[in-house]
Amino acid sequence: MKNWIPLLLLLLVLSSCKTRNAAKKNNTGSIKDSTIVTEDDNNPKDANQPVRDKLTFYEHVIIPPKFDQIKINSKVNVETGSFVPTLDAVIYIENDKKVWMNLTALFIGVARGIATPEGVKGLDRTSKSYIDSDFDYLNNLLNVNFIDYKSLEKILMGRTFVKINDSQFSLTQNAQGYKMSSIQNQKIVTDEKTREYKIVLEYDTNYDLLSVNLKDVLSPDELEISYSNWDEYNGIRLPKNVKIIIKGSKTSQILLENTKFDFSKMETPYSVPANYKKIEIK
Protein backbone atom coordinates (compact mmCIF):
# COMPACT_ATOMS: atom_id res chain seq x y z
CA MET A 1 0.00 0.00 0.00
CA LYS A 2 2.88 2.36 0.56
CA ASN A 3 3.20 3.23 -3.13
CA TRP A 4 -0.34 4.56 -3.56
CA ILE A 5 -1.50 5.69 -0.14
CA PRO A 6 0.35 9.04 -0.02
CA LEU A 7 -1.00 10.09 -3.39
CA LEU A 8 -4.49 8.85 -2.61
CA LEU A 9 -4.41 10.93 0.52
CA LEU A 10 -3.62 14.14 -1.26
CA LEU A 11 -5.05 13.88 -4.74
CA LEU A 12 -7.20 10.75 -4.90
CA VAL A 13 -5.05 9.69 -7.83
CA LEU A 14 -2.87 6.58 -7.89
CA SER A 15 0.89 6.71 -7.98
CA SER A 16 1.48 2.99 -8.34
CA CYS A 17 0.15 2.76 -11.89
CA LYS A 18 2.92 5.11 -13.11
CA THR A 19 0.93 6.23 -16.12
CA ARG A 20 1.89 9.35 -18.02
CA ASN A 21 -1.00 11.78 -17.86
CA ALA A 22 -1.68 14.92 -19.77
CA ALA A 23 -2.53 18.08 -17.87
CA LYS A 24 -1.73 21.69 -17.26
CA LYS A 25 -2.59 24.65 -15.15
CA ASN A 26 -3.65 26.59 -18.23
CA ASN A 27 -5.90 24.03 -19.96
CA THR A 28 -9.58 23.09 -20.23
CA GLY A 29 -12.10 20.61 -21.51
CA SER A 30 -15.48 19.59 -23.04
CA ILE A 31 -19.05 18.24 -22.90
CA LYS A 32 -20.88 15.50 -24.79
CA ASP A 33 -22.65 16.45 -28.00
CA SER A 34 -26.42 16.38 -28.09
CA THR A 35 -29.22 18.59 -29.32
CA ILE A 36 -30.88 21.85 -28.37
CA VAL A 37 -34.63 22.00 -27.82
CA THR A 38 -36.40 25.34 -27.75
CA GLU A 39 -39.66 26.14 -25.99
CA ASP A 40 -41.56 26.54 -29.24
CA ASP A 41 -39.97 23.64 -31.13
CA ASN A 42 -39.53 20.13 -29.72
CA ASN A 43 -37.50 18.94 -32.69
CA PRO A 44 -33.75 18.56 -32.10
CA LYS A 45 -31.59 21.41 -33.33
CA ASP A 46 -28.01 21.20 -34.46
CA ALA A 47 -25.70 20.07 -31.66
CA ASN A 48 -23.15 22.38 -30.10
CA GLN A 49 -24.47 25.82 -30.92
CA PRO A 50 -22.26 28.83 -30.10
CA VAL A 51 -22.85 30.33 -26.64
CA ARG A 52 -24.08 33.91 -26.79
CA ASP A 53 -23.79 34.81 -23.10
CA LYS A 54 -20.19 33.79 -22.49
CA LEU A 55 -19.76 36.16 -19.54
CA THR A 56 -22.41 34.37 -17.48
CA PHE A 57 -20.81 31.01 -18.27
CA TYR A 58 -17.34 32.12 -17.17
CA GLU A 59 -18.70 33.74 -14.01
CA HIS A 60 -20.27 30.44 -12.97
CA VAL A 61 -17.40 28.10 -13.80
CA ILE A 62 -14.40 30.23 -12.80
CA ILE A 63 -15.42 32.16 -9.68
CA PRO A 64 -14.93 29.77 -6.71
CA PRO A 65 -17.55 29.35 -3.98
CA LYS A 66 -17.09 31.20 -0.69
CA PHE A 67 -16.48 28.99 2.34
CA ASP A 68 -14.24 28.81 5.38
CA GLN A 69 -13.98 25.05 5.78
CA ILE A 70 -15.71 21.88 4.70
CA LYS A 71 -15.58 18.30 5.98
CA ILE A 72 -16.39 15.48 3.55
CA ASN A 73 -17.04 11.87 4.57
CA SER A 74 -16.37 9.48 1.70
CA LYS A 75 -16.18 5.87 0.59
CA VAL A 76 -13.15 5.25 -1.63
CA ASN A 77 -12.79 2.33 -4.04
CA VAL A 78 -9.52 1.87 -5.91
CA GLU A 79 -9.23 -0.36 -8.98
CA THR A 80 -5.65 -1.15 -10.01
CA GLY A 81 -5.77 -4.81 -11.01
CA SER A 82 -4.90 -5.94 -7.48
CA PHE A 83 -7.10 -6.07 -4.41
CA VAL A 84 -7.55 -2.89 -2.41
CA PRO A 85 -10.25 -2.85 0.29
CA THR A 86 -12.91 -0.16 0.38
CA LEU A 87 -11.63 2.75 2.44
CA ASP A 88 -13.48 5.24 4.59
CA ALA A 89 -12.10 8.75 4.18
CA VAL A 90 -12.52 12.01 6.04
CA ILE A 91 -11.43 14.96 3.90
CA TYR A 92 -11.17 18.36 5.55
CA ILE A 93 -10.56 21.47 3.43
CA GLU A 94 -9.72 24.80 5.02
CA ASN A 95 -10.01 27.32 2.22
CA ASP A 96 -6.62 28.42 0.84
CA LYS A 97 -4.84 26.87 3.84
CA LYS A 98 -4.87 23.08 3.97
CA VAL A 99 -6.36 19.82 2.79
CA TRP A 100 -6.29 17.11 5.48
CA MET A 101 -7.28 13.49 4.93
CA ASN A 102 -7.60 10.44 7.15
CA LEU A 103 -8.18 6.93 5.78
CA THR A 104 -9.49 3.90 7.64
CA ALA A 105 -10.27 0.30 6.65
CA LEU A 106 -12.60 -1.72 8.88
CA PHE A 107 -12.35 1.05 11.49
CA ILE A 108 -8.55 0.77 11.57
CA GLY A 109 -6.52 3.85 10.65
CA VAL A 110 -4.27 3.10 7.67
CA ALA A 111 -3.07 6.47 6.42
CA ARG A 112 -3.16 10.21 6.97
CA GLY A 113 -1.97 13.20 4.98
CA ILE A 114 -1.99 16.96 4.77
CA ALA A 115 -1.39 19.40 1.92
CA THR A 116 -0.67 23.12 2.27
CA PRO A 117 0.45 25.72 -0.28
CA GLU A 118 4.03 24.77 0.67
CA GLY A 119 3.77 21.05 -0.14
CA VAL A 120 2.40 17.64 0.82
CA LYS A 121 2.95 15.23 3.69
CA GLY A 122 1.57 11.74 4.14
CA LEU A 123 2.12 8.69 6.32
CA ASP A 124 1.20 5.05 5.74
CA ARG A 125 0.66 3.10 8.96
CA THR A 126 0.66 -0.27 7.19
CA SER A 127 4.27 0.14 6.02
CA LYS A 128 5.39 2.61 8.71
CA SER A 129 6.61 5.06 6.09
CA TYR A 130 5.99 8.71 5.24
CA ILE A 131 6.58 11.41 2.61
CA ASP A 132 7.40 15.11 2.96
CA SER A 133 7.68 16.92 -0.36
CA ASP A 134 6.65 19.87 -2.50
CA PHE A 135 4.03 19.43 -5.22
CA ASP A 136 6.63 18.14 -7.66
CA TYR A 137 6.14 14.80 -5.93
CA LEU A 138 2.55 14.52 -7.05
CA ASN A 139 3.26 15.92 -10.50
CA ASN A 140 6.18 13.54 -11.08
CA LEU A 141 4.22 10.50 -9.96
CA LEU A 142 1.35 11.39 -12.29
CA ASN A 143 3.53 12.78 -15.09
CA VAL A 144 1.59 16.05 -15.07
CA ASN A 145 2.61 19.60 -14.29
CA PHE A 146 -0.55 21.44 -13.24
CA ILE A 147 -1.01 20.34 -9.66
CA ASP A 148 -0.51 22.92 -6.96
CA TYR A 149 -2.40 23.49 -3.74
CA LYS A 150 -5.30 25.45 -5.25
CA SER A 151 -5.85 22.98 -8.08
CA LEU A 152 -5.97 20.19 -5.47
CA GLU A 153 -8.74 22.02 -3.63
CA LYS A 154 -10.68 22.48 -6.87
CA ILE A 155 -10.33 18.83 -7.91
CA LEU A 156 -11.77 17.65 -4.61
CA MET A 157 -14.69 20.09 -4.79
CA GLY A 158 -15.51 19.60 -8.46
CA ARG A 159 -14.39 23.00 -9.67
CA THR A 160 -12.60 23.94 -12.89
CA PHE A 161 -8.97 23.24 -12.00
CA VAL A 162 -7.32 24.22 -15.28
CA LYS A 163 -7.22 27.68 -16.79
CA ILE A 164 -9.61 28.35 -19.65
CA ASN A 165 -9.74 31.26 -22.05
CA ASP A 166 -11.86 32.40 -24.95
CA SER A 167 -9.04 32.64 -27.49
CA GLN A 168 -7.75 29.05 -27.37
CA PHE A 169 -10.95 27.14 -26.63
CA SER A 170 -14.31 26.83 -28.33
CA LEU A 171 -17.43 27.16 -26.18
CA THR A 172 -20.66 25.58 -27.40
CA GLN A 173 -24.00 24.62 -25.91
CA ASN A 174 -26.47 21.79 -26.41
CA ALA A 175 -29.43 20.29 -24.55
CA GLN A 176 -27.12 18.58 -22.07
CA GLY A 177 -25.11 21.66 -21.18
CA TYR A 178 -21.85 23.28 -22.23
CA LYS A 179 -18.72 22.07 -23.93
CA MET A 180 -15.25 23.61 -23.99
CA SER A 181 -12.67 22.13 -26.36
CA SER A 182 -9.16 23.26 -27.11
CA ILE A 183 -9.08 24.71 -30.62
CA GLN A 184 -5.44 23.79 -31.01
CA ASN A 185 -3.13 21.49 -29.12
CA GLN A 186 -2.13 23.13 -25.86
CA LYS A 187 1.63 23.32 -25.35
CA ILE A 188 2.85 23.03 -21.78
CA VAL A 189 6.49 23.78 -21.05
CA THR A 190 8.06 22.71 -17.74
CA ASP A 191 11.64 21.81 -16.88
CA GLU A 192 12.67 22.44 -20.49
CA LYS A 193 10.14 19.86 -21.71
CA THR A 194 7.24 20.61 -24.03
CA ARG A 195 4.05 18.56 -24.16
CA GLU A 196 0.93 19.03 -26.24
CA TYR A 197 -2.57 18.15 -25.11
CA LYS A 198 -6.13 18.06 -26.33
CA ILE A 199 -8.43 19.23 -23.56
CA VAL A 200 -12.19 18.92 -23.21
CA LEU A 201 -14.52 19.96 -20.38
CA GLU A 202 -18.21 19.22 -19.94
CA TYR A 203 -20.68 21.20 -17.84
CA ASP A 204 -24.34 20.66 -17.04
CA THR A 205 -26.98 23.24 -17.98
CA ASN A 206 -26.64 24.73 -14.49
CA TYR A 207 -22.82 24.94 -14.89
CA ASP A 208 -21.94 21.94 -12.71
CA LEU A 209 -18.69 20.39 -13.94
CA LEU A 210 -19.35 16.94 -15.44
CA SER A 211 -15.94 15.89 -16.72
CA VAL A 212 -12.44 17.00 -17.65
CA ASN A 213 -10.46 15.03 -20.22
CA LEU A 214 -6.77 15.66 -20.92
CA LYS A 215 -5.16 13.68 -23.74
CA ASP A 216 -1.46 13.65 -24.59
CA VAL A 217 -1.39 13.94 -28.39
CA LEU A 218 1.98 12.15 -28.62
CA SER A 219 1.04 9.05 -26.59
CA PRO A 220 -1.98 7.01 -25.47
CA ASP A 221 -1.80 8.62 -22.03
CA GLU A 222 -5.02 10.18 -20.82
CA LEU A 223 -6.47 11.57 -17.60
CA GLU A 224 -10.21 11.91 -17.05
CA ILE A 225 -12.00 13.17 -13.96
CA SER A 226 -15.79 13.08 -13.87
CA TYR A 227 -18.38 14.32 -11.37
CA SER A 228 -22.02 13.34 -10.83
CA ASN A 229 -24.99 13.56 -8.45
CA TRP A 230 -24.53 17.22 -7.61
CA ASP A 231 -26.56 18.80 -4.81
CA GLU A 232 -26.53 21.98 -2.76
CA TYR A 233 -25.16 22.04 0.79
CA ASN A 234 -25.01 25.19 2.88
CA GLY A 235 -25.40 27.24 -0.29
CA ILE A 236 -22.58 25.44 -2.13
CA ARG A 237 -23.08 22.89 -4.91
CA LEU A 238 -20.95 19.78 -4.44
CA PRO A 239 -20.70 16.39 -6.20
CA LYS A 240 -21.57 13.17 -4.41
CA ASN A 241 -19.58 11.04 -6.84
CA VAL A 242 -16.10 11.56 -8.28
CA LYS A 243 -14.35 9.21 -10.70
CA ILE A 244 -10.69 9.50 -11.66
CA ILE A 245 -9.47 7.40 -14.59
CA ILE A 246 -5.78 7.19 -15.50
CA LYS A 247 -4.93 5.62 -18.84
CA GLY A 248 -1.51 4.69 -20.13
CA SER A 249 0.36 1.40 -20.17
CA LYS A 250 -2.54 0.21 -18.03
CA THR A 251 -5.75 1.72 -16.71
CA SER A 252 -6.54 2.46 -13.08
CA GLN A 253 -9.42 4.29 -11.52
CA ILE A 254 -10.56 5.71 -8.21
CA LEU A 255 -14.23 5.99 -7.27
CA LEU A 256 -15.12 8.45 -4.54
CA GLU A 257 -18.60 8.44 -3.01
CA ASN A 258 -19.17 11.48 -0.81
CA THR A 259 -21.74 10.52 1.81
CA LYS A 260 -21.81 13.57 4.08
CA PHE A 261 -20.82 17.26 4.01
CA ASP A 262 -20.24 19.32 7.15
CA PHE A 263 -19.10 22.94 7.43
CA SER A 264 -18.00 23.02 11.06
CA LYS A 265 -14.37 23.47 12.08
CA MET A 266 -12.41 20.42 13.21
CA GLU A 267 -8.97 19.46 14.48
CA THR A 268 -6.52 18.10 11.93
CA PRO A 269 -3.74 16.31 13.81
CA TYR A 270 -0.70 15.13 11.89
CA SER A 271 2.55 13.76 13.29
CA VAL A 272 5.01 11.09 12.19
CA PRO A 273 6.11 8.46 14.73
CA ALA A 274 9.84 8.25 15.35
CA ASN A 275 10.15 4.73 13.97
CA TYR A 276 8.66 5.58 10.53
CA LYS A 277 10.91 5.53 7.46
CA LYS A 278 10.93 8.45 5.07
CA ILE A 279 10.33 7.65 1.41
CA GLU A 280 12.98 9.50 -0.57
CA ILE A 281 11.63 11.43 -3.57
CA LYS A 282 13.70 10.94 -6.73
Whole-structure pTM value: 0.80
Handedness of CA 223, 14, 64, 74 (dihedral sign): positive
Burial (Cβ within 10 Å: 0-12, 13-18, ≥19) of residue 47:
middle
Residue 10 pLDDT > 50: no
Report yes or no on 196 lying in a domain: yes
**Domain around 61:** 11-265
Report yes or no on 129 lying in a domain: yes
Three-state DSSP class for 33? coil
Separation between Cα atoms, residue 97 and residue 116, nearest integer Å: 6
* Distant-in-sequence, close-in-space partners of 97: CB < 8 Å, separation ≥ 6: 116, 117
Three-state DSSP class for 134? coil
Res. 47 pLDDT band, cuts 50 70 90: low
Per-residue pLDDT of 53-101, as tens digits, reads: 899 999 999 998 999 999 999 999 988 777 888 999 999 999 999 999 9
Report yes or no on 118 lying in a domain: yes
CA angle 113, 115, 120 (to 5 degrees): 80
Residue 151 parent element (H or E): helix 149-157
Q: In the prediction, which pLDDT does 17 show?
A: 35
Burial (Cβ within 10 Å: 0-12, 13-18, ≥19) of residue 234:
exposed
| DSSP summary character for residue 38 | B
If you count them, how many residues does the chain have?
282
Residue 21 pLDDT > 70: no
Report yes or no on 6 lying in a domain: no
Three-state DSSP class for 108? strand
**CATH number for the domain that contains residue 173:** 2.50.20.10
Report yes or no on 226 lying in a domain: yes
Number of domains observed in the structure of the chain = 1
Residue 12 pLDDT > 80: no
Report yes or no on 271 lying in a domain: no
CA angle 143, 146, 150 (to 5 degrees): 135
Provide mean pLDDT across the span 167-181.
Answer: 93
Q: In the prediction, which pLDDT does 142 show?
A: 62
